A and B are shown apart, each in its own frame.
Chain A
Amino acid sequence: MKKVLYLLLFCPLLTIAGSSVALQPMGRGDLGAAKAVPTSASAKKMDRPASHAPVSLSWALETDKPLELQSQPHQTSSKGYWMTVDAADFDSGILLSTTHPGALVRVTPQSDGNNAELLDPKDLVLISARGETFSGGRGMDMLLSGEEQEHAKKRIFPQGSAVFRMANDLGNGELYLFAENMDYGSGKKYVVDVFEKSSDTVLRLTTGSDTYLEGQELRFETAFAKNAGTFSAETLSASLIAPDGRRFPLTVKPGQTHFAAPLSVQGNGTPGLWEVEVIAEAKIDGILVKRNARSAFALNVPTAVFRGQVSLIDDSTTLTAKLAVDVAVAGRYEVRAVLFGSDKDGQLKPLAVGNSAQWIEPGQGALSLAFDRALINRSGLGQPFVVKDLRLIHQNRMSLIHRQETGFSFPTDR
């Protein structure tokens, strides 16, 4: 909400004469390094030169709207799986297993740079575990070939895909997918993707953090969940996927759910996130459950660190916190944080967001985090103030390199 819409709240002007405070020690879930690290090849780069002009902006927050600033990694829940197969596999049969009727199936030719052949879904054949054959579109609802998608003017999935839903009367369980009228010796690759929207069995994947620094240890956990129960995988493999597509196998053991791996890999400048991919199978209530899951995280190099000292300057229009930094690589660095103040009952309430960026050369320097004094005065909140969700960002590397739930408080003495 624009700050101009707030009614002016008059409160005694609060001034904090020049003073120094220290950053609080990092806590559980915080991100940061002890030392700034120079880097070159692994650096992600912005697509334009970074500005050297310092910029600051702060805006008010609603004081009665609580925030959740503790870092929480994302939990992925997968109800599907995919596999890359060869044309020859459509002759010998591709095992599909579903836990619930009505699974969605997509078969996509892998493009070799030329236009992919269109698959006619009527050439697909399903054979159940009981030996029943479903062909010519039988057993498949919502049959849509790539050509029909083209006809619909819009391609929904990659070119040449055949998409169908398994008919409900097929039930669930194991069956085999074949294709007729296919050149089985072509060596062409296909992705077969199965999605069970209505299944009650998911594969959960959670990484320990959504951001890591190079050299740290990646932690992740994965397990099947069905209703209130959890089950470890009986077959399990995992990979680390770089933004440029490079894959690094991870060591995992079936039967276990928690894993760790050193992040000794490096980026090569390609923008984007890293991913953990897990491929798992388990027999749950007598049914083979297949699931794949992916979860993204950032992997960054700490090109600068906070030294720990904060100088406060209050000139009645701007409250500025100058945070001392050690910088290993020149760049445009940003500090952002949320300022909390105390209400009349001593409860901390969110007051304002502050964002400040400037160019810093290698060596010892300082980043100034500025808050509009008028916002503080209008808030009705007072001492002590606490700076939370303190972050240090290397903008031209698109890298978050420090994140601290509780940064510092002031004044320290009344």
Chain B
Amino acid sequence: MTKTSIALLCLVWSLAATANTGVAFVHGTGSQSNAANDYWTWEMINSVRSGLPNSNNYTVINCDFEQYMWTSGAAGCLASQLANFINTNGITDLVVITHSNGGNVMRWILSNPTWDPNYPTVINAIRWTNALAPSSLGTPLADAVMNGTVFEAAVGWLLGYQSDAVRMQQTSWMAYYNTNWLYGTSGRPALSSGFWNVVGTDVDSSPFDPDSYCGGYTENLGLEITQNWLSSCSDGFLECSSQSGAGSLWFNDIAVTNGGEPLSHSQSRRKCFGLDTILRNDL
């Protein structure tokens, strides 16, 4: 079933059931205390939430995704904040927007419904998850950082500031977690709700190209470097195969963005090339 046909069914259902729709923004690796300002920007959040029937029905998650995804500080925190949002606002139809490792933490909740008393509340309210550049199969960059440096704290905004999330996103580690703890990858049982991937396929970082400045020129410059460690299709941090490794493909960036522009790993969480409009219309 395509997302369009599911959306039509959802519209019929929501009209019939007078659903109360909300949106949640779930950041990637890193410990956030002000993700709205620091990770997503208000420009992005305000544009996306304007697509809601009630634009106040939104929440921006702030948790510690430097930890392993199953910990109380990661998935426990995420589930708690989502459940609180659902209960406080009477949300019956929740669209979750994740970025990067946030997709893994969300997929932990969806795949382990008996782990925490808050999980069923969250699972039963979710319409679907829009996973922006999720690191579903991990990244060779995490392997490279861990090579020979097991006791070093991994650094870099891409990978987080502690080692647990970096260790977890190594490719053989994510292969283990996907086989044994997470649903939604090829050959495994599906998740209980749609997990729709937005895949970033390249990085543009020319100082003469104004598009390179969306999401931060220096961030994109860094991603041009890291692309050298990855296959030809990547957003600078994640290979396309990892981004589409779980759930279903919603779209590859250049298929629908303004001007057919690619979304680097920095740009796929920002108001770049019409991404905000696409997410807004999806609500």
**A28 at interface by CB-CB < 8 Å:** no
When distances are taken between beta carbons in the complex, the residues of chain B under 8 Å from A395 are 114-115
* In the assembled complex, A211 has its CB within 8 A of some CB on chain B: yes
A-chain residues with CB within 8 Å of residue B222 when the two chains form the complex: 149, 152-154, 156
Residue of B nearest to A159 (CB): B155
Q: Is the Cβ of A74 less than 8 Å from the Cβ of B1?
A: no
B210 within 8 A of A: no
Minimum distance in angstroms from A234 CB to a CB of chain B: 22
Contact bitstring B228-264, A, C-beta under 8 A = 1, else 0? 1100000000000000000000000000000000000
Q: Which residues in chain A, 316-356, are within 8 Å of chain B measured between CB atoms?
A: 334, 338, 350, 353, 355-356
Any A CB within 8 A of the CB of B52: no
Residue B167 CB within 8 A of the other chain: yes
Question: Contact at B158–A156, with CB atoms within 8 Å?
Answer: yes
Is there an interface contact between B188 and A296, defined as CB atoms closer than 8 Å? no
Question: Which of A13-21, A61-69, A87-95, A170-178 contacts its partner?
Answer: A61-69
> Could you say which residues of chain B place their CB within 8 Å of the CB of A106?
144
Q: A55-B114, A59-B192, A165-B228 are in contact. Are A110 and B152 (CB under 8 A)?
A: yes
The residues in B between 119 and 137 inclusive whose CB is less than 8 angstroms from any CB of A are 119-120, 123, 126-127
Name which residue of chain A comes closest to B126, CB basis. A2
Contacts A2-B193, A47-B73, A48-B76; A153 near B228 (Cβ below 8 A): no
Does B40 belong to the interface (CB within 8 Å)?
no
Is B15 located at the chain interface by the 8 A CB criterion?
A: no
Which of A1, A80, A273 has the most chain B CB within a 10 Å cutoff?
A1
CB contacts under 8 Å to B, within A1-33, are 1-5
Min CB gap B30→A, angstroms: 12
Chain A interfacial residues counted at CB < 8 A: 78
B218 lies within 8 A of chain A by Cβ: yes
Task: State A152–B266 Cα separation when bound (angstroms).
Answer: 13
> Nearest residue in B to A62 (C-beta to C-beta)?
B190
Q: How far is the CB of B223 from chain A (nearest CB, A)?
A: 9
B148 touches which of A82, A151, A155, A298 (Cβ 8 Å): A82
What 0/1 readout, one digit per residue, does chain B (161-183) give for beta carbons within 8 Å of chain A? 00010010011110110011101
Interface centre among B73, B149, B156, B170 (most CB of A within 10 A): B149
Q: Which residues of B contact A400 (CB under 8 A)?
A: 180-181
Is the beta-carbon distance between B143 and A2 smaller than 8 angstroms?
no
Q: What does the 1/0 interface line of B183-204 toward A look like (CB < 8 Å)?
A: 1001111101110000000000
Q: Is the CB of A61 within 8 A of B73?
A: no
List A contacts of B71 (CB < 8 A).
47
Q: How far is the CB of B249 from chain A (nearest CB, A)?
A: 15
Q: Within the assembled complex, what's the spacing in Å between the Cα atoms of A241 and B167?
A: 13
A295 within 8 A of B: yes
CB of B221 within 8 Å of the partner chain: yes
| Contact A74:B194 (CB < 8 A) given known A51-B117, A53-B117, A241-B150 | no
A56 to B152, CA, bound (A): 40
Cα(A273)–Cα(B177), bound, Å: 10
Chain B residues with CB under 8 Å of A334's CB are 114
Contact A71 B179, beta carbon cutoff 8 Å? yes
Residues of B within 8 A of A297 (CB): 176
- A7's closest neighbor in chain B, by CB? B9
Interchain CB contact under 8 A, B189 and A1: no
Please indicate the chain A residues that have their CB under 8 angstroms from the CB of B72 in the complex. 46-48
Asked if B176 contacts A61 (CB within 8 A), the reply is no
- Which residues 203-252 of A sit at the B interface, judged by CB distance below 8 A? 210-211, 241, 245
* Chain B residues whose CB sits within 8 angstroms of the CB of A111 once the complex forms: 152
Let me know if B173 and A5 touch, CB within 8 A. no
Is B156 within 8 A of A57, CB to CB?
no
Known A76-B172, A210-B176, A353-B189; contact A157-B144, beta-carbon cutoff 8 A = yes
Closest Cβ of chain A: how far from B82's Cβ, in Å? 16
Q: Are B228 and A292 interface neighbours, CB within 8 A?
A: no
By beta carbon, the residue of chain A nearest B154 is A158
Q: Do A154 and B156 have beta carbons less than 8 Å apart?
A: yes
Contact in complex: A353, B183 (CB < 8 Å): yes
Contact B158 A67 (CB under 8 A): no
Residues of A within 8 Å of B117, CB to CB, are 51, 53, 55
12 A-B residue pairs with Cβ-Cβ distance under 8 Å, sorted by A, are A1-B193, A2-B127, A48-B76, A62-B190, A67-B189, A104-B229, A106-B144, A110-B149, A272-B164, A294-B147, A296-B176, A353-B190
Q: Which residues of A contact B (CB under 8 A)?
A: 1-5, 46-48, 51, 53, 55-57, 59, 61-62, 65, 67-69, 71-72, 74, 76, 80, 82-84, 104, 106, 108, 110-111, 142, 144, 149, 151-159, 163, 165, 191, 193, 195, 197, 210-211, 241, 245, 271-273, 275, 292, 294-298, 334, 338, 350, 353, 355-357, 389, 391, 395, 398, 400, 403
**Closest 8 pairs between A and B when the two form their complex, measured CB to CB:** A68-B187, A357-B114, A191-B148, A74-B175, A59-B192, A57-B113, A55-B114, A82-B147
